[in-house]
Amino acid sequence: MDAVSKFTIEEDVAGHIQNEFNTEYGQSWHIFVGRRFGSYVTHETKKYIFMAIGNLYVLIYKCGSP
């Protein structure tokens, strides 16, 4: 993932990913990046991604209109 190689601070990684997703797929993407977190989110159908990159976890989802 491009953002993980460019940035070392999780907040910067999340911001980069959010900008890319909002530009490519429209507004209202929410991004969480961290080593440990829990979540319970409401999201649009087929608009949810959770992945691990090493020991860094990334949650991406879209919810609502801008």
Task: State if pTM tops 0.85.
Answer: yes
Q: What is the CATH number of the domain that holds 14?
A: 3.30.740.10
d(CA 13, CA 41): 20
Q: Considering only CA atoms, which of 22, 63, 31, 65 is closest in space to residue 44?
A: 63
pLDDT at 12: 96
Which structural domain, as residue segments, surrounds residue 28? Answer: 2-62
Q: How many domains does the chain have?
A: 1
What is the pLDDT tens value at each position of the chain, 66 positions in all?
Answer: 588 889 999 999 999 999 999 999 999 999 999 999 998 998 888 999 999 999 999 999 998 765
